[in-house]
Every structure is written in structure tokens, then in C-alpha cells.
Amino acid sequence: MNKSKLEYCPFCGKEAYQHQVKPLKLQYKSHSITVNQPGYWCNKCGEGVIGGDDRKATQKELQAFRAKVDGLLTPDEAKTIREKLKLTQQKACDIFGGGINAFSRYERGETPIPKPLSQLLRLLGKHPNLLIELNNKLNRVHSNKKHKIAI
């Protein structure tokens, strides 16, 4: 679809369907949020189609909103704690698991931060020295693998 060209609305058939940003009110549990949602919105009937790129424009804001409702870390809070712990995204994935791109996905708001990880990061954010214990454990496991020592 050409973003500047007017299209016929698939809902009402009027030629008033174009790519634009519209305030969209969404509800999660008993809370609501209004985001500036890009999409192909119809000026006649108000219906719209939200594509992949349009969704990405609001995903982090929505993820942060849901995280706050659920009492979990927001994408930015997770990033702040990771940086405070002086971990790269890659190193954080080594320590906490979730796959090689897990922290990239959490921080972009693509994937919700699992509750146990959220709780653990919150603790480590307050007591960063505890990370040394996790790191030592991880290094031991790695060196055991390297030398094929049975645990």
C-alpha cells in the first residue's frame, strides 16, 4: 500500500482510507491507555488496519503499560538495571537465559519480561554485588564443560 495515496476503505467502501496517526484507547485488565497509533484509518467510518510496522511504533509503550499493571519491570527499567550491572545484552542472556536475543526483545518491548526474571533483576538492581555469585557459578559450569569434569 502506498502510504500517501488514498485507498478505498475495506469496511465501508468510501475512498477515505489513508495512513495516519490516530489516538487509540486500549484496555488491559481494568486499566486503559490511549496511544497515538499509526495505521490505515478511515475518516468516514473510523475503522482501521494496523500493519506490522504500525504495531512496532506502539509496542514498547504498550508493553510498559501492561508491565506496570502487572507490577513487572518495563522495557526501559530492565535496560537500566542491565546497564547498572554492566552487562551487555549478550552477557545478560548467558546469565539469565531466554535465548540469544532475549534482552534485545525485552528492551524493545517485543516480548514481555517473565515474572521470575523481572523479580530477579529488581533484586540485583538493589544488590548488584549478588551478581558476582551468579557469575562465579556460571564460570564454574563453563570450565567444567571445557574440561569434561563430571559434576
d(CA 36, CA 24): 6
Q: Show the binding pattern over residues 10-39: x = contacts Zn ion (CB under 5 A), - = does not.
A: -xx---------------------------
* Residues within window 45-104 making contact with Zn ion, judged by CB under 5 A: 45
d(CA 38, CA 20): 5
Count CB atoms within 10 A of the CB of residue 43.
Answer: 14
Distance of CA 38 to the CA centre of its chain: 18
Task: Decide if 121 contacts 82 (C-beta within 8 A).
Answer: yes
CB of 62 to Zn ion, least distance (A): 24
Q: Which stretch binds Zn ion (CB under 5 A): 4-12, 65-73, 81-89, 94-102?
A: 4-12
CB of 24 to Zn ion, least distance (A): 16
What residue ranges bind Zn ion (CB under 5 A)? 9, 11-12, 42, 44-45
